[in-house]
Structure 1
Amino acid sequence: MIDCRFADGAGDDSADASTSPEVLFTGFPGFLGSALLRRVLARGDGPVACLIQPQYRELAEKRAREIVAAVGERDDDDVPADAPTVHLYEGDVTEPDLGLGSALDDPDLLAGVEEVYHLAAVYDLSVDADLAEAVNVRGTERVLDACERLGVDRLHYVSTCYVSGRYDGVFTADHLREGQSFNNHYESSKYRAEVAVRERMADGLPATVYRPAITVGDSETGETDKLDGPYNLLRLLLAQPERLAVAFSVPGGAETELNVVPRDYVVEAVAELSARPETAGETYQLCDPDPLTVPAFVAALSDAVGRRTVTVPIPKRLAKAAARLLSAASVDVEPATIDYFDHPTRYRCPNAREALAGTGVSVPPFESYVDRLVAFAREHPSLGDDPMT
């Protein structure tokens, strides 16, 4: 059942108290949010309410119907009566009460929510400071306020490994406030958002924090919804002749680790960990415990693309200037990605590995699925890198 509602609670008359939401999602119909919603419904949690922005309503309705049908193992025209229920509420994490007003206090609407999954954020290395502050920081604070108002049993908050900023050394789930500098407003805003979550946890809010590393497409299908981050390098290689391609390297990059994980690992890990009561109060870094160095990553991607690649060492300042020139020439290479060619932080995840041991959920080697990422990107060249905000 799909129930589409507005902030005042008005919506599909088929909804009733028996299907009142017990779980609230932000970040739907985003890439991670859509996949995680399906896993949460498949394990029997719900009914679920998804906070959606009005401009994404059509997409949200489409994806919600597909997910409900898939979980119910029927097509869209024959959804069984006992299929999971998804409620779509128009609102915005940046607004007071998430733009939901009195719906948060109505027992027939959202007052029965017991768990919140907060994924909504601007995932963009070049985001400007004001937008990052509004969505990533104040939006998280609004969600925290809503959690306290609802008296939820659990918040599941999706952060990022890159709250580390440019911490020089090994960064684990035990690290956060280390006096680090940051590459960009995305990193600094996610850092401040996690600090806010940790402060509420210290005050008694039951929550779990999940920190994915750089998340790329699905390891089985290659599917992604935008070509950003490491895909900048892929676009650069694809724009050059097969017989010889050129990539950048910067001083200090030879030993730099590029920590990449596929979407399905992140989703399966969050789904597994969020189902356990003993993980409340914990922080988990969902990273590759054995990542490739930047040169090894370039080599693996070059092999998958079928390019002989020569890496040219140049100063970082010139590499960023070259990226800007390439972007102006219609080869999209985001200059902000150059900062990760000499990123000093190394990520490790001992508690996540221990918690997931024996579950079958683990990070596949990048070389085992890079061909699928490349194939999907080649089949969908019109995909951009614009974030869903």
Structure 2
Amino acid sequence: MSVFLTGFPGFLGSALVGRLLDRTDRIDCLVQSKYRDDAARRAAELAGDDWEADIALHEGDITDPRLGLSEETYDRLAGDAEEAFHFAAVYDLGVEAELAERVNVDGTRHVLDFAEAADARLHHVSTCYVSGRYDGVFTEEMLREGQSFTNHYEETKFRAEVAVRERMAEGLSATIYRPAITVGDSRTGETQKYDGPYHVIRYLLRQPRVAVLFTPLGASDTELNVVPRDYVVDAIDALSRMDRSAGVTYNLCDPHPPTAVEAQRVLAEAAGRRVVSVPTTQSLLERLLSAGPVRAATGFDPAVVPYYTHPTRYVAPNARRDLSGTGVSPPPFAAYAPALVEFVREHPDISSAAMT
């Protein structure tokens, strides 16, 4: 028997593969052709030189109804799979609508078709930001709340989760995991790309002892919900082993997140910098950062600015209940911020580009 997994060798999917080696005969990973060599290297890191005994790489594409596989391979994998983990998505706040639709929505529907053909339990990796700009507390049961969306990433991940819930209502066994903003490992700081909070870190490290940061009005009251990769992967690993998690949605978030201003201060302290915050409006800051010279000088992506005034708060009673006693819980942001900063300091050349 096997576990089927999309999104290898991506940031979260590749980390989970190492956790899955003890629970199945084989892990069948769907890999884009252009990442085949990277996937082989990552598989060797996880399982050693004889990795092909445990991990099988299948070149394919979730945007194709048959996942880019031959009919024979598709049927064989569906016949073997007991579980399917769906990580593949475009994780990019600035993604174009057409690409987001093909990968995040159509791709999820194709993985749902595979899971149904396999009669396999599906583990779908969503995001807390299916909430869009919901004004208030967003629970694990909530989804369709009439919310607006900041970008195509949020909207298409929302529509993907809608598709999963519709199949669940029709009888598909599935669990939904919604990570908050996911950063590097809490111990080593290791990450695959620099986006989100990393724009702040890279900017701070380029400044002298004092760093000037323009901050949108309202940032001091806005929660910035960040979790490290190891918490997300450990939580998915632990929860996916439980029979009682079938049919459940989990917000994998920080129960005590810092505000956006507090997060900046924590990162500045870790970088050895003092921040001078200059209040401004969100619209003005977005216009400034959209100008080529300003964006080049600061390294900030204007797509992150709305998250400094994000009106949504996240709670996770399902995750807290079912992870109780497992030892898996999100560490405080201040506890691992120094590891994130140090990793960026030691690895300045990592890209901010998403895998597409």
TM-score by length of 1: 0.89
Give the counterpart of 1:168 among 129, 135, 141. Answer: 135
Corresponding residue for residue 14 of structure 2: 34
Tell me the secondary structure at the aligned position of residue 213 of structure 2.
strand
Q: Is the 8 Å Cα contact of residues 12 and 229 (structure 2) preserved in structure 1?
A: yes
Query: 1:316/1:263 Cα in 2 relative to 1: closer, same or farther (>3 Å)?
Result: same
Corresponding residue for residue 61 of structure 1: 40
Map 1:344-355 to 2 at 5 A.
344-355=311-322
1:287 aligns with 2:267: no
* Identical counterparts, % of pairs: 55
Residue by residue, what CA displacement relative to the aligned partner does 1:191-223 show, whole Å, maximum 9, x if unpaired? 000000000000000000000000000001000
Corresponding residue for residue 280 of structure 2: 314
Corresponding residue for residue 100 of structure 2: 132
Q: How far apart in 2 are the matches of 1:29 and 1:304?
A: 30
Q: How far apart in 2 are the matches of 1:363 and 1:351?
A: 14
1:94 maps to a residue whose letter is: T
Q: How far apart in 2 are the matches of 1:349 and 1:366?
A: 17
1:378 aligns with 2:340: no
1:166 maps to a residue whose letter is: R
Q: Alignment RMSD, CA only?
A: 1.5
Map 1:35-114 to 2 at 5 A.
35-41=15-21, 43-69=22-48, 76=49, 79=50, 85-104=54-73, 106-107=75-76, 109-114=77-82
Query: 1:327/1:134 Cα in 2 relative to 1: closer, same or farther (>3 Å)?
Result: farther
1:232 aligns with 2:211: no
Q: Is the 8 Å Cα contact of residues 209 and 284 (structure 1) preserved in structure 2?
A: yes
Residue by residue, what CA displacement relative to the aligned partner does 1:247-285 show, whole Å, maximum 9, x if unpaired? 122122221000000000000000000011111000000
Query: 1:370/1:84 Cα in 2 relative to 1: closer, same or farther (>3 Å)?
Result: farther
* More moved, 97-106 vs 58-67: 97-106
Corresponding residue for residue 187 of structure 1: 154
Query: 1:373/1:286 Cα in 2 relative to 1: closer, same or farther (>3 Å)?
Result: same
Q: How far apart in 2 are the matches of 1:208 and 1:86?
A: 23
Corresponding residue for residue 297 of structure 1: 263
Corresponding residue for residue 18 of structure 1: none
Tell me the secondary structure at the aligned position of residue 123 of structure 1.
coil
Corresponding residue for residue 301 of structure 2: 334
Corresponding residue for residue 223 of structure 1: 190
Residue by residue, what CA displacement relative to the aligned partner does 1:91-123 show, whole Å, maximum 9, x if unpaired? 00000110113135544x542111100000000
Give the counterpart of 1:248 among 189, 192, 214. Answer: 214
1:162 maps to a residue whose letter is: Y
Q: Is the 8 Å Cα contact of residues 220 and 262 (structure 2) preserved in structure 1?
A: no
Q: How far apart in 1 are the matches of 2:253 and 2:53?
A: 31
Tell me the secondary structure at the aligned position of residue 183 of structure 1.
coil
Q: Is the 8 Å Cα contact of residues 239 and 331 (structure 1) preserved in structure 2?
A: no
Query: 1:327/1:29 Cα in 2 relative to 1: closer, same or farther (>3 Å)?
Result: farther
Equivalent pairs counted in the alignment come to 355
Q: How far apart in 2 are the matches of 1:96 and 1:207?
A: 20
Q: Is the 8 Å Cα contact of residues 8 and 39 (structure 2) preserved in structure 1?
A: yes
1:147 aligns with 2:126: no
Tell me the secondary structure at the aligned position of residue 98 of structure 1.
coil
Tell me the secondary structure at the aligned position of residue 164 of structure 2.
helix
CA positional deviation for 1:33 = 0.6
Q: Is the 8 Å Cα contact of residues 84 and 123 (structure 2) preserved in structure 1?
A: yes
Q: Is the 8 Å Cα contact of residues 217 and 373 (structure 1) preserved in structure 2?
A: yes
Query: 1:53/1:290 Cα in 2 relative to 1: closer, same or farther (>3 Å)?
Result: same
The gaps in structure 1 that reach 5 residues or longer are 1-20, 70-75
